[in-house]
Amino acid sequence: MLAYILRRVLYAIPILIGVNLLTFALFFVVNTPDDMARLQLGVKHVTPEAIERWKVEHGYDKPLLLNVQAQGSAQFTDTIFFQHSAAMFAFEFGKGDDGRDIGNEITTRMGPSLAIALPVLVIGLMVNITFALLMVFFRATYLDLWGVVLCVVLMSISGLFYIIAGQYFIAKLWNLLPISGFAGGIDGFKFILLPVLVSVVAGIGSGSRWYRTIFLEEIGKDYVRTARAKGLSEVRVLFRHVLKNGMIPILTGVVVVLPLLFMGSLITESFFGIPGLGSYTIDAIQAQDFAVVRAMVFLGSFLYIVGLILTDISYSWVDPRVRLQ
Amino acid sequence: MNPLLEVRDLVTGFGSMRVVDGVSFRVAAGETYALLGESGCGKSMTALSLMRLLPDGGRIVSGSVRLAETDVLALPERDMRRVRGGRMAMIFQEPMLALNPVVKVGAQIGEALALHRKLGGQAARDTARGLLDSVGVPDATRRLDSYPFELSGGLRQRVMIAMALAGEPQLLIADEPTTALDVTIQAQVLDVLRRLKAERQMGMLLITHDLGVVAENADRVGVMYAGELVEESARDAFFAGPQHPYSRMLFEALPRPGDGGRLTTIPGQVPPLDGSLVGCRFAPRCPHAFVRCREESPGWQAINGQRVRCHLAGQLPAQDMRDRVAHAASAHPPQPLLQVEGLKVHFPIRRGFIQRTVGHVRAVDDVAMSIQAGRTLALVGESGCGKTTVGKALLRLIEPTAGRIALGGEVITANNAATLRRQAQMVFQDPYSSLNPRMRVADILLEGMDALGVGAAGQRRDAVSQLLRQVGLPDDAGGRYPHAFSGGQRQRIAIARALAVSPRLVICDEPTSALDVSVQAQILNLLKDLQNDLGLAYLFITHNLAVVEYLAHEVAVMYLGRIVEQGAAADVLRAPRHPYTQALMSAVPRIEPHAGEGIIRLTGDQPSPLNPPAGCHFHPRCPHAQAVCRQIYPDRTGLGGGHWVRCHWVAGRHPDFSKEH
Amino acid sequence: MSFMPVILWTDRLIFALLAGVLVLVWFIRRHEHLRAPWRLVAQRPMAMGAALVLGVFVAIGLLDSLHYRERLADSRADAPQYSVEVLSVFDALVNGLRTRQEKTYSAPLAMQLYAKEFVERDGATVRDYPRLHYGGAHLTHADAHGPDIARRALVGLAQGLAVGLLLFGLLAAWQARRTQTHMGAWLEAWATGRLGWPARTVVLVLALMLLLGGALIQLASGYHVFGTDKVGQDVLYISLKSIRTGLVIGTLTTLVTLPLAIGFGIAAGYFRGWVDDVIQYIYTVLNSIPGVLLIAAAVLIVQVAIESNPELFDTAAARADIRLLALCLILGVTSWTGLARLLRGESLKLRTLDYVEAARAFGVSHARIISRHIFPNVFHLVLIAIVLDFSGLVLAEAVLSYVGVGVDPTMYSWGNMINGARLELAREPTVWWQLGAAFVFMFTLVLAANLFADGVRDAFDPRMGTRR
């Protein structure tokens, strides 16, 4: 088991290198520092000197891969690749265009992101499983049929609509909750409520429909018939047997996104003014701050790979067939 | 005496189909009643109707089911749950699927104990252990904490039985309880069921398609056909003289020892159950049918205690005897076609951090065999013994690890594979997965000819219709897709595909084990005819000894990757010498009472080929094992006439026989 | 010639796609086993109703893909000059909607502007809501406003009903002739739902669309049905023009993903070994980068490329079109991994099936095994993926445009509509119609696509749901 995990961890390294090379290619080869400077400076201020100055300010005035003027190992280290791409392996992200340290921003903004994303995940999971179990309990009746249709309808509504409608009705029209903003500690509760509510509702359609198919797949299996033949009631069959087996794919699906919760949700955070990593990212995209986007790409990939490893571990934890073989 | 179970005019519908149509029977306490029939006849649906466990879409239309004094169909669902698993329990066919994979065995049994006997905690655990003991699960205390996947198929089925017994049922319904198991394991499980029934005075409803299982276990028999019960009688009377034409034909379709003639086949198929069926449902396939059969559904008639639904009850001609011809002497002079020496297929086992190869699964370990042109070698063994791997390795579908394969005198290497492919072809087990559903039959048959460049391109179309005729399919079959054909017809297509490149050797991998008895007979007859007409040689891979006796000239018995006994079919099957072969032979349920010979029951399961026992692989299960068996793998001991075994015990008893090699 | 045809890149691809679909339809019609599942789809009321709605959207999208530039009226015949504005056949059909521009916001069906201005009235200058140039301009009194709307709506409904009844009569007559029954008998079978196809639903949906269309046309001829936006453009027009953008993103993206997903997925599953390792590595790398960020990075780069080469595009439409195409490409390249993984798993299973082994026993080549045995047996998964992904992509466009990495800001799209209007919600009183219209149109398209996809999925693979 330990060897297995170790192997998975080592397997993650070439993937991170791949991500790194890909972002390097995207940000520095396809799109040279000159291009970035031009974009940042705007049409009016583009002069060769301004471009050079911008490049020096942001540390892009070095050769891409090989510095022939430097001596010794500096030939490799005093390059854009080493200082801007390879440095990310040490989680050194440098500074954003606004001059702030990206690493610092990430650590301070993780909290607010998590404050929204974690409740959304947990509450959403419970709500969706409940709905799915209800539909499965009433399967092949009109309740189930219309439940599925309702899910499809909910799925067909744009996520933006949920947010805008939630803000408009709950916050603006009925004044129940603040429309946006964030505060730490216990005061923050009222700010968290609306984004969490909206995100959970937005996820009900696709979530409960997916869980329903998982449970239906399980309920068609032979062991369910065995359980019924024992004389168990339908509710017990659902909870003791179907849920237990269905939770395996559901839980492992959840585990893979767990680390990514730190990244927050772009849209929700941006609409509700949550100072998390999601809104940080979106601001960076809109301001075309390449350094921040690059850092977030690396961070996201890293967390995703952590999620993959956790998934493998969790599989062996929840499924005895994997654990004991 | 009141019967324990009384079913009257049960009708079960599935959409517009009546899958069970007016079935009535009784089961007394302490009695085993066997429902016999081929797939799709409604026997499982009858059982599920009794339990009120029909799958979605099925419903009981009419009829009554009484369990002792209880009207089962009238019970509200709440009360039914107390009957289900309490007074009436059921075990299912697939032990691999019927247990919850993520719940421990003890907990699954405990659930039934809590529900029906209000037992919990240590009391439940003790009772569960007792139940496991009683069904012969070794080391029961430890097994309570096992998950189902940690158990072999035979053990899982025992757990299933223990679970069914937890509610102390009066009636046990066993739906094909041993169909998925190997013969030696089947024998063990059937023994358990017989013993428990006697101990607990349970009634048992045994559902099966296997006449042999019925003969050895049932007290009374009911034969089902197309949703109806067509014959019912006591076991001995039934086996002495079945009265319904369908029952008779089932008997005659069964290959039996000492019998080389053509098998009787039942033409046609079971009618679809959706339309309004007029007359006797068997009439379209019945050789004795006359006008009345097609117009009027026959009622029950009694003849000497047997009951039968047939207009000709008692007037049928005496038992049709098959023409008992011996194996037709092959017209082709015997010449070795396939010669295999030292064939090995090892799969590496990788473990640990860098996936180092830590060992090998020796799926096939040093197998040698030869097949003469126009003859059949049967390769017999239980699941997991490596017999299919041998077949695939011969065709290089799996790359052999070592060994020399010569076909028609030419040694086959990776370079002349095309020669091999023109001379040797394969027929697979499952006719449903062996034909591409998206290709027309003609294209399926043309594929091999195109790939190997057989015949001129212009003549291939003619070859297709020739092939279709040869395997007994209509000419227009070529234009249709596989889903338009039944299982037996699909297997004919698969045979035609193999024949398309005019091979001299056909490897048949369990070609009939997915088919019903009557269809199996058709395919076996076809294979035999093709052999006589075309001089084909067969490597016939199977677990079914009855089929071996019918078809094979020579037999090789495999156990854990090695051949343990080989010789002429008559010698090996009539006088098996290896203890494993003997056990295999005696485990097969037979219609005729076993004559004289003691029944040998193997204990335990076949060990994993991952880690075979040292010495003779068979020694842990062998009744004759001695010290030497645990250390040294036995050499061949020749018994004359090409018959040899690998067994220290046999070698010791026959010191006069020379050791080969 | 009074116009010059303009063929944008996306137009080319759309019509290539259309041709491909038609060829596929022809091919399926000739093969019974391919037709059978489509018959099942055709028997599902919801799927057929949804298909009709989709059909209307697609028709609008196709009309909107036939582009041209008008000749300037004052240009000479021998040296014609053409307007820089690229129009489409659809624009020509709804010319009124396009040209009747107001000054700024106006509410749906309003006859006055949404903002007060100084207007001349009875010789004095007062600050009031001025009348619109076009919306309700035919009315002399404000009192007539309500009754006029009601009258137009009713007339429209009646016209829709009339057309509907006419079509229904023709359908009944044709069907009765075809099946050689009396029309009465056919009608009875229709009313009781015994026709073997969901005729009731089809007729109902058709009738509903005709009624709605009739009312819309009547109202739109005198008013701005969904109001006007900040620069006074008709919101109904913008919403309709956005249909093409949504369709392009939903379909062309899939067109990009298909070769990648099919090629890599089947190759990985069929060949296994190092091929599988390499392909798995590629898609794990792609998968591990958060989708929006990868898209954002790529779009930013495309933007730089477009901005540094302005000379390549002769019109703004061509520029926006290239950006749209680039977005499709980027979305495609980042989203093929899911389908590829599904196809890999399925190919892994198929390659062990006996019919593939049988083909290998004949020495059939890998290319032939893949094309004859593997691909035809995974094709249904590809099809299901296409219809399922469509709606997700339409929704994604809105989000991406909001983030600022979607389509060109000058392009008509629901995402741009939402993005432009969401800040106006804070205004008092609220400007809600732009958002409302975008959501309603998007919802209709996505719901229809989802319902249709459900029907397709159930017909092609009832157990599919669990595998995604």
Q: In this predicted structure, what is the pLDDT of residue C132?
A: 82
Looking at chain A, list the stretches that DSSP marks H as alpha helix, in order from N- to C-terminal side. Answer: 2-24, 33-41, 48-58, 74-77, 80, 102-137, 142-155, 159-166, 189-219, 222-229, 234-236, 243-257, 266-272, 277-287, 290-318, 320-323
Q: In this predicted structure, what is the pLDDT of residue B539?
A: 95
Token digits for B142?
A: 């430890």
Q: Which residue has the tokens 């035809």?
A: C376
Q: Which one of C357, C362, C381 would you mutate to disrupt binding with B, by most B Cβ within 10 Å of its Cβ?
A: C362
Q: In this predicted structure, what is the pLDDT of residue B546?
A: 82
Token digits for C71?
A: 């000749």
| Residues within 8 A of A (CB atoms), C 385-414 only | 391, 395, 398-399, 402-405
Whether C279 and C340 have beta carbons less than 8 Å apart is answered as yes
Residue B413: count other Cβ atoms within 10 Å of its Cβ.
12
Least confident of A54-63, B234-243, B435-444: A54-63
HSE of B491 in the Cβ direction (CA atoms, 13 Å)?
23
Instruction: Using CB atoms, pick whichever of C32, C33, C359 lies closest to residue B447.
Output: C359
Token digits for B615?
A: 């010495």
The ipTM, to two decimals, is 0.86
The predicted-structure confidence for B184-221, as pLDDT tens digits, reads as follows 889 889 999 999 999 999 999 999 999 989 998 999 99
Q: How far apart are CA B37 and CA B47, in angstroms?
A: 13
Q: Which residue has the tokens 């025992």?
A: B158
The predicted-structure confidence for B309-364, as pLDDT tens digits, reads as follows 998 887 877 655 454 444 444 445 567 899 999 999 998 887 766 677 778 888 89
The predicted-structure confidence for A141-151, as pLDDT tens digits, reads as follows 889 989 999 99
Contact between B421 and C368 using a beta-carbon 8 Å cutoff:
no
Cross-strand pairs, B318: none
The predicted-structure confidence for C215-256, as pLDDT tens digits, reads as follows 999 898 888 989 888 888 899 999 999 999 999 999 999 888
Mean pLDDT of B302-315: 86
Instruction: With residue B490 as reference, give the H or E element that holds it.
Output: helix B487-499
Cross-strand pairs, C5: C68
Q: Which residue has the tokens 């050499």?
A: B635
Least confident of A171-175, A274-278, B115-119, C432-436: A171-175
Looking at B575-635, list the stretches that DSSP marks H as alpha helix, in order from N- to C-terminal side. Answer: 579-587
The predicted-structure confidence for A250-298, as pLDDT tens digits, reads as follows 888 898 888 888 888 888 998 888 899 999 988 888 887 878 888 888 8
Whether B83 and A231 have beta carbons less than 8 Å apart is answered as yes
pLDDT above 70 for B275: no
Q: How far apart are CA C23 and CA C187, in angstroms?
A: 35
pLDDT above 50 for C126: yes
Token digits for C392?
A: 């997700």
Whether B490 and B473 have beta carbons less than 8 Å apart is answered as no
Q: Could you say which architecture CATH assigns to the domain B335-646?
A: 3-Layer(aba) Sandwich (3.40)
Q: How far apart are CA A280 and CA A258, in angstroms?
A: 19
Whether B614 and B631 have beta carbons less than 8 Å apart is answered as yes
Token digits for B410?
A: 């030419």
Whether C408 and C306 have beta carbons less than 8 Å apart is answered as no
Domain range annotation of chain C: 139-221, 242-453
Q: How far apart are CA B306 and CA B518, in angstroms?
A: 23
Looking at B149-280, list the stretches that DSSP marks H as alpha helix, in order from N- to C-terminal side. Answer: 153-165, 183-200, 211-217, 235-240, 245-253
User: Which residues lie below 8 Å from residue B135, measured CB to CB, with a gap of 6+?
Assistant: B158, B159, B161, B162, B165, B192, B196
pLDDT range class, residue C122, cuts 50, 70, 90: confident
The predicted-structure confidence for C293-319, as pLDDT tens digits, reads as follows 888 888 877 887 787 777 888 788 888
Describe chain C by its helix, strand, coil percentages, rounded to 5. Answer: 70, 5, 25
pLDDT above 50 for B661: no
Backbone dihedral angles phi then psi of residue B302, each to the nearest 5 degrees: -105, 135
The predicted-structure confidence for C350-403, as pLDDT tens digits, reads as follows 998 999 999 999 989 999 999 999 999 998 889 888 888 899 999 999 888 888
pLDDT range class, residue C113, cuts 50, 70, 90: confident
B426 interaction partners in chain C (CB closer than 8 Å): 357-358, 361
Give me the sheet containing B203-208, strands edge to edge: B88-91, B171-175, B203-208, B32-36, B220-225, B228-234, B306-309, B300-303
Q: Which one of A136, A216, A223, A325 would you mutate to disrupt binding with B, by most B Cβ within 10 Å of its Cβ?
A: A223
Among A157, A279, A267, smallest CA distance to C395 is for: A157
Whether B206 and B218 have beta carbons less than 8 Å apart is answered as yes
B393 or B39: which leads in pLDDT: B393
Strand, coil or helix: A252: helix
Q: Could you say which architecture CATH assigns to the domain B5-218?
A: 3-Layer(aba) Sandwich (3.40)
> Is the Cα torsion angle A49, A55, A58, A59 positive or negative in sign?
negative
- Please check whether residue B183 touches C, CB under 8 A: no
Q: In this predicted structure, what is the pLDDT of residue B259?
A: 57
Q: In this predicted structure, what is the pLDDT of residue C468?
A: 34
Angle at C334 between CA C330 and CA C338, to 5 degrees: 145
Among C267, C289, C291, smallest CA distance to C280 is for: C267
pLDDT range class, residue C182, cuts 50, 70, 90: confident
Average pLDDT taken over every residue of chain C: 87
Token digits for B501?
A: 């490149």
> Is the Cα torsion angle A44, A48, A53, A59 positive or negative in sign?
positive
Q: In this predicted structure, what is the pLDDT of residue C106?
A: 86
Q: How far is CA C204 from the centre of its chain?
A: 22
C354 interaction partners in chain B (CB closer than 8 Å): 428-430, 433-434
- Please check whether residue B151 touches A, CB under 8 A: no
pLDDT range class, residue B264, cuts 50, 70, 90: confident
Q: Could you say which architecture CATH assigns to the domain C242-453?
A: Orthogonal Bundle (1.10)
pLDDT above 70 for B596: no
C273 or B590: which leads in pLDDT: C273
Q: Structure pTM?
A: 0.88
User: How many percent of chain A have pLDDT more than 70?
Assistant: 97
Q: In this predicted structure, what is the pLDDT of residue B654?
A: 61
Q: Which residue has the tokens 């059939």?
A: C364
- Please check whether residue B366 touches C, CB under 8 A: no
B481 interaction partners in chain C (CB closer than 8 Å): 32-33
In this chain, the answer to whether the domains covering B5-218 and B335-646 adopt an identical fold is yes
The predicted-structure confidence for A211-238, as pLDDT tens digits, reads as follows 998 999 899 899 999 999 999 999 999 9
Whether B641 and B575 have beta carbons less than 8 Å apart is answered as no
pLDDT range class, residue B1, cuts 50, 70, 90: low
C292 interaction partners in chain A (CB closer than 8 Å): 266, 281
- Please check whether residue B600 touches A, CB under 8 A: no
Contact between B115 and A226 using a beta-carbon 8 Å cutoff:
no
Token digits for C145?
A: 């406003």
Q: How far apart are CA B281 and CA B279, in angstroms?
A: 6
Contact between C290 and A153 using a beta-carbon 8 Å cutoff:
no
Domain range annotation of chain B: 5-218, 242-328, 335-646
Q: How far is CA C146 from the centre of its chain?
A: 34
- Please check whether residue B404 touches A, CB under 8 A: no
Strand, coil or helix: B327: coil
Average pLDDT taken over every residue of chain B: 87
